[in-house]
Chains A and B, each alone.
Chain A
């Protein structure tokens, strides 16, 4: 089974702090994603990466950056945390779109609930 592991289940940070959320997957997937989930707003894509050192902005990238130095690890960085970034953050992975894995589903971690005070 694919395993996507997020390093923290709960985090509490102060406004202005730099925050790192880490995600590791063990299935050699090329594509990795960061979503945030808020009541009434659903899952919104922040950033995604389709290869090492490659990244693309999602729908709500403002206030965030990402890093992918190794294939299995995708980090989300909040440069200066603000209270409106309090949310559930979900990491996901998916294999490269090929004949055998065309449009395969996302595999999610269990999320990091971040509170910024």
Chain B
């Protein structure tokens, strides 16, 4: 059974600071997704990582994938309050996405 673990689960950070969210998974997969969810809302696609070594950046967020280590990271640069949300990684295996527990990020002024 595929297991996906994120850490930390809760992250409170100051505006302007950098931080990294980690996503580990237990079996091989070449596709990994990052989603953002605001409270009571749907899942907004942030990144699709399709191969080992893939790196994608959008604004203050950068995601990477190391399939050998079964690890993806979501790096936040110079955080702003608008980034406050829950971030999920999801591993694509077979016909399903298996989600991590989510990282609830709060960016304080």
Asked if chains A and B come from one complex, the reply is: no
Binding site for A on B (CB under 8 A): none
* A interface residues, Cβ below 8 angstroms from B: none
